[in-house]
Amino acid sequence: MNKESWLHPRHDKIESINPATLEVIGSVAVTPAGEVEEKVLLAREAFGSWRNTSLKYRAGILKKFSEHLFTKRQIFAELITREMGRPIVEALVLECEASIDLVNYYARRYRLLKPQKVRLHNPLFIRRKSYHQCLPLGVIGVICPWNWPLLIPLGCIVPALLAGNAVVFKPSEFTPLVGEEIASLLSEAGLPHGVFQIVQGYKETGKALVKTDVDKIFFTGSTQVGSQIMQAAAKNPTAVVLEMGGSDPAIVCNDANVEITASGLLWGGFSNCGQNCNSVERVFFEKDIAGPVMEALVRKTEFLKIGNGFNRNTDIGPLATKHQYEHIKTFIQQMIKKGAEIMTGGKEVENQDGYFFQPTVLKIPKDVTVNEEIFGPVIAVTIVDDIDEAVELANDTPYGLAASVWTADRAKGERIARRLQSGTTMINDAIVSFGMPEAGWTGIKKSGIGWVHGHKGLEEMVNIQYVNVDPQSHQQKFWWFPYDEETMLTMHAAMKFLYSTKLSERLIALPKVLSRLAGYILGNSKRADKY
């Protein structure tokens, strides 16, 4: 099969293609749209008993899952490399290690879901018990992309299960085999039958899942598809968490370390062949450092090794799909027409069967705006006069997912970070915050709604219910009906005691408040007798 061949999807089967060789490596059956609802109903039935299991029990299953994932880490890494092309080292470290760490993070912190006491400051309620408790939502729908086929799904699936929800998972049609392995491993870990369901298919399957009565949808993918999901979910309505596209900027200050910054930008822009929603895509150099860093970046780019991900020396694998391959070629052509200059790369790799493309550095004029997600091995660099201009151009995008600042002055870096419109900003690094399980992940503008990872991501999986318990169940509250003059005088006195800025007023009001409060606490209120 050559690059010009295009797989026409069958309606009953998905064939998984190795993007480095264009060979079929396996297949799965498509879940018919009519059966998607049946899967949701099965998950709903299983939820009934799963929600009543203890947090400790659920955490124990996740620990077993983590142990199995550790044992099979090489198998998963190789499957990821075969299905979507990323180098085996990246698949092992950025996918498998980060996934094991994420599972362990939640399994060891299941107490985050225990009831949390709420202290009531008002003396009227001093004897009450008050707390927040986390209740599972029900059935969670998870729709994930192909670029991180293990870590992204687990970032939703694991906290959902820990919280007591059932899950229906649709993996990407480009990485269906990784999805099947996730399901198999959860079963091996002892997850009860039915709690986790997997549906395979194309966009029709995803649409069918959104139309069901799932309690929440977690979607990761393009802004265009995310917007469509949000519109469809609103008809039910169904709550959504959307992690969508990015066009992430990097600002390089004049005091940045030249070689370290160039290496960081290189990795931030080209790891996973640039197919990360938080890849470094747009770089803004302060003019005094632009020449040295540009030279270093080009030099390091030309040193990168392109090839099959199973070669341990490969730095850049293929693009995962033909669509991305064609998109990158078109994007570069459009930028050249607008005045961009290719500093290195810019072409497909010849004499290769797969979707290989040279890592590319483009020099972009300041008046050219990159308003689309590149999502490939391209870094667009622009020289600016100062940091103010860099921040203005960095924020000139409909996206707001991630950003990075490169400087030797930490305080300056933090000041710049506060000015950037992004859900995440890293200083002197890029991308890896997504692999920090405690770091909540979100986007602003057209990059996302809601959170994944960390405590914030866990809260997305539950209904946080407030509970207030009055132990004095035997008596009438003095603020209940009927209202009368005594009530009015008492409340005036209470407000003077609580809020007056004059000490004399507070002292005068105190006896009246204590008398009424004592009667209330001791159960001597006679107001109910007026009825």
Which residues does the annotation mark as catalytic?
Answer: 243, 277
226 touches 354 (CB < 8 A): no
What is the SS3 assignment for 26?
Answer: strand
Distance CA 260, CA 395 (A): 25
Using CB atoms within 10 Å of the CB of residue 512, give its burial: 0 to 12 exposed, 13 to 18 middle, 19+ buried. middle
Look up residue 250 and give its amino acid: A
Q: CA nearest 447: which of 252, 281, 241, 159? A: 241
User: What does the block give as tokens for 379?
Assistant: 């870094």
Distance CA 162, CA 132 (A): 17
Q: CA nearest 2: which of 21, 16, 17? A: 21
99 touches 157 (CB < 8 A): no
164 touches 58 (CB < 8 A): yes
Task: Provide DSSP, 319-372.
Answer: -SSHHHHHHHHHHHHHHHHTT-EEEE--SBPSS-SS--B--EEEE--TT----S
Burial pattern 353-391, b for ≥16 Cβ within 10 A else e, equals bbbbbbbbbbbbeeeeebebbbbbbbbbbbbbeebebbb
181 touches 220 (CB < 8 A): no
Rg (CA), the chain: 28
Q: Is 47 left (phi over 0), alpha (psi -120 to 50) or beta?
A: alpha
